[in-house]
Structure 1
Amino acid sequence: MKSIYLFFTAFLALASCAFAFDPSPLQDFCVAINDTKTGVFVNGKFCKNPKLATPNDFFFSVKEGNTSNPLGSKVTPVTVNDILGLNTLGISLARIDFASRGLNPPHTHPRATEILIVLEGTLYVGFVTSNPENRLITKVLNKGDVFVFPIGLIHFQLNVGYGNAVAIAGLSSQNPGVITIANAVFGSNPKISSEVLTKAFQVDNNIVDNLQKQFWVDNN
């Protein structure tokens, strides 16, 4: 009886893991299209007839990002919206360019774990664990170093080197999403009630009003 209980416990654990990320594909590929007349709806996108797939369905050219903004960084995502052939494959990536002291501000990916590799420069990176610990885990990365940001956790990257920096991030979803914390909290539309924010951050109402009046930069 005990062995049966352990079996079902293990089975339920594996089943729960299976639904934690994008579903596994049941075909070689499913090139996304928006034509509802000729497509089959799979995992959020319609699929092109595989016989009509072309090399361009699996191709995208990533250019250097323009970092001339207040954050000094530019994220160039490559998701299913950019490579239609990514549909149902459960992966995507992003190129992140940093000017000197450039910051990719605290943010989360609600649907993906991120693995980052530094191509050029030196980055100070970190993430914060969930309540109640809220533990900050950080590392300084140099060229060739790799770091993982677990799914859903707030994380950031700051260029602490003397020149520009470049990194590539792999993500475990075809459409990982991104929530930039400051933009979401202080730049929402419509605005979050100042009463909510003053109590949440334990600050004066004037500070909240000032933050909500600012223009919050989106580096994506």
Structure 2
Amino acid sequence: MTEALPVPAPVDGSAQAQGATALPPGIALPALCEALLFVAAAPTSAEELAKAVGMPSDAINGALDELAVALAASGRGLRLQRHGDRYALTSAPPAARIIARFLGLHRTERLSPAALETLAIVAYRGPVTRGEIEAIRGVDSSGVVQTLLARELIEALGRRSSVGQPVEYAVTANFLRHFGLASLAELPPLGEVNGRSVEETWDERSLGAREKERAPLPETEPSG
């Protein structure tokens, strides 16, 4: 029988102390957030969780921080993933190779070197325009941008307030899942990428192509 994840109870000064809705008996706020994220059909914001629970967003944010620590420290197969202001439960990066085998993901699904290079540019320098991508790569990138959009690894954020109003692109929550990242803060430092080929670095991070276990990456902020 699977054991329930032990998580800390809400600390003093939590939403309960502020007169918010009482929690159901036998469950702490971090565990309740975990349950809601487990059944959520899409990444969910702290505000949406707060509305469901009947507590302030600050209390939910604190509970999500506790949940992230508890999941990472427990050695379980789930991690809390954050993309912008939204959260989701995702599989732990060390399980990626076995998950790929279980789901029947094949090496033919790997991204091309051009796609990996473009994706790295968007991840580290985004939001970026297609013109900026092409200035860095030195070649037309319209086709590879469309490929990444179709695979939902990047998304159009809107138009920049500049001459021509070009479309700006950024990576998606699906990008984080594909490369086994909890957030953009887990991107390998640019120096690590520049010291090897972009293709080698990102191909190893790909969920569908990973063929060996990798040690956790240091949590560093991506360079602008």
TM-score (structure 1 length as normaliser) = 0.28
**Structure having the larger proportion of residues in helix:** 2
Structure with greater contact order relative to length (CA < 8 Å, sep ≥ 6):
1
TM-score, scaled relative to structure 2: 0.28
Greater Rg over alpha carbons, structure: 1
